Structures are given as C-alpha cells and as structure tokens.
C-alpha cells in the first residue's frame, strides 16, 4: 500500500510541476500590477485571479519573497502555495498592519513572511503566533512527529535574520490563548489552525470580536463553497472553514479578496 501511495504521490508531484512549467512557458511578459480596485475580480472569477497571482509571483514579486517561498517549499517546511505570497504582499502593501496574529503556525512560514513583509515595507508590525507546536492535527490533517515545531519556527525566522515573533504554545481554544487574543484589537488575523468546523468557528468568533474596525481576517482553506476551481497544483480547502466562510455575518464583514482557498474578510 505504501509503495502504491508513494508512486501515486510522485506521479502527482510530476504532473503538478509539468503544469506549472507549462504555465510559466506561456508568460511572455511580466504580470500587470494588481491594483486595489481589481480585487473584486478575485471574487467574481477566483480561478483567473489565482492564476494572475501565480504569474505575478514569478515575474513581479520581489526576489527575497520568492526566495522565502522556495526555502519553505523544501524539506517539507511549509504548506501553502506560491500565489499566497502574492496575497500577503498585496495585503501588507495596502493596509500596513501594525499587528498580525496567526492561529496555527506549523514551522513558521507565515509568521516569518509577516516579518519579512514588515521589513520590506518598513512597518513596525507586532507578530504573534498561537499553536500547539506539536504534531496535533484534526479530522483532515496529520503532521510529522519528528520535528520540534517551536525551535524550528525560531530557527526558520533566524534564517531570514528576522526578530523572533511572539509565540504561545497552546491550542487556540485554551484559556491562555483566548486571553491573549482578547488582550488587544488586531489589525490582521490569519486563521489556519484546527480545520474542524467547531474549532474554526470558535477561532472566528473570538478573533472577530477582537479585530480593529477595518481589520482583516484571512480564513485559510475556505474555498470549497466558491466558484474557485483549483489547478492541479493547488487545493480548494476543507469543509469546516468553507462552511464557516458561508456563515460569515455580511452585515459585520465584507469579503474583499480571494486568492485560491484563502478568503479575506474586512470588519466593517
């Protein structure tokens, strides 16, 4: 069984790389700039917008950010997709956040990207991660057991000469974590911890209550309930966060951007 799974995995990886190479070969000019007024396009046609971000990544995104993604693409250091680096770049450029909270840190790809973007845009952005820093998974995710997730996150931030982010070793539903979230009003929150509906819902409710007016919540893995049709090298998300996104109170939050399975909501 393991051999068959391994062969299937390799074949899928090969096809994913082939499709990406094909797309790259079709880019005969650098991507156009993506302006704020075009973000609505991502809601109307999320698949085309995702591919636009893919093009942008390869032809326009600053080199240090591309290198950061390459580092996390190796040795199983990170999840996510290249286009998500473009999403964070657009969000930091547009909103200049002064605080960033990530729920579900894994090995530090996004907390370190927040640090890198803060440096790139000369921002003073307080960065906080909340995660068990263990292989704790959920109904749809399993993580390796042979990594010290806390040390690894710090090591990966140091690799880019970034200051260590503030890290709390806890489940987002623990009292210490809930108190920490409630300790300030955040500019940006990224929810990417436990993907089970009940936990994602609890994360949303708490973070929504402690978000600045005009602040953003990025909800990972929530694209299944949209028109987004992921290319073979991307995924549409998971049922829990996707259901949650459907239930977001539109009188309190406006959806402003979708990049693949990441959906961005702004507090009104």
Q: Give the C-alpha separation, 216 to 254, whole Å.
A: 10
Closer to ligand SAM by CB, 31 or 110: give it: 110
Q: Give the C-alpha separation, 74 to 90, whole Å.
A: 24
- As measured in angstroms, the least distance from the Cβ of 85 to ligand SAM is 10
- As measured in angstroms, the least distance from the Cβ of 97 to ligand SAM is 16
Closer to ligand SAM by CB, 34 or 114: give it: 114
Q: Which stretches of the chain bind ligand SAM, using CB under 6 A?
A: 78-80, 102-106, 109-110, 130-132, 136, 143, 171-173, 192-194, 199
Give the residue ranges of DSSP H helices in the chain.
2-25, 39-44, 46-59, 63-73, 82-95, 109-120, 149-159, 175-181, 197-209, 239-247
Tokens linked to 98: 């002064």
Which residue has its beta carbon closest to ligand SAM? 104
Closer to ligand SAM by CB, 31 or 190: give it: 190
Neighbours of 229 (CB within 10 A): 11
Closer to ligand SAM by CB, 132 or 260: give it: 132
Q: Give the C-alpha separation, 206 to 189, whole Å.
A: 11
Tokens linked to 35: 């302006």
- As measured in angstroms, the least distance from the Cβ of 99 to ligand SAM is 17
Q: Give the C-alpha separation, 139 to 169, whole Å.
A: 21
- E strands, 118-247, are 126-131, 166-169, 186-191, 211-219
- As measured in angstroms, the least distance from the Cβ of 116 to ligand SAM is 13
- As measured in angstroms, the least distance from the Cβ of 254 to ligand SAM is 23
Closer to ligand SAM by CB, 34 or 181: give it: 181
Q: Give the C-alpha separation, 257 to 79, whole Å.
A: 20
Q: Give the C-alpha separation, 193 to 234, whole Å.
A: 19
Q: Provide the 3-class DSSP secondary structure of residue 211.
A: strand
């Amino acid at each position: 069984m393991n051999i068959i799974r391994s062969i299937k995995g390799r074949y899928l990886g090969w096809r994913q790389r082939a499709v990406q190479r094909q797309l790259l070969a079709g880019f005969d000019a650098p991507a156009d700039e993506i302006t704020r007024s075009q973000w609505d396009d991502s809601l109307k046609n999320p698949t085309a917008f995702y591919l636009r971000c893919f093009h942008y990544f390869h032809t326009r995104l600053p080199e240090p950010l591309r290198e950061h993604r390459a580092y996390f693409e190796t040795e199983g250091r990170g999840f996510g997709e290249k286009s998500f680096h473009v999403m964070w770049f657009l969000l930091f450029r547009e909103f200049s956040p002064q605080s960033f909270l990530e729920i579900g840190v894994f090995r530090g790809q996004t907390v370190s990207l927040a640090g890198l973007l803060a440096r790139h845009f000369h921002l003073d952005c307080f960065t906080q991660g909340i995660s068990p820093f263990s292989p704790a998974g959920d109904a749809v995710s399993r993580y390796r057991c042979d990594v010290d997730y806390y040390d690894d996150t710090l090591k990966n931030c140091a690799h880019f000469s970034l200051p260590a982010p503030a890290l709390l070793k806890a489940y987002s539903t623990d009292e210490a974590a809930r108190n920490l979230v409630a300790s300030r009003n955040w500019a940006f929150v990224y929810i990417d911890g436990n993907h089970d509906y009940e936990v994602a819902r609890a994360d949303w409710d708490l973070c929504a209550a402690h978000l600045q007016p005009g602040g953003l919540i990025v909800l990972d893995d929530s694209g299944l309930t949209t028109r987004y049709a992921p290319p073979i090298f991307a995924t549409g998300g998971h049922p829990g966060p996707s259901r949650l996104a459907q239930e977001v109170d539109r009188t309190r939050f406006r959806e402003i951007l979708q990049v693949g399975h990441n959906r961005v909501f702004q507090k009104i």
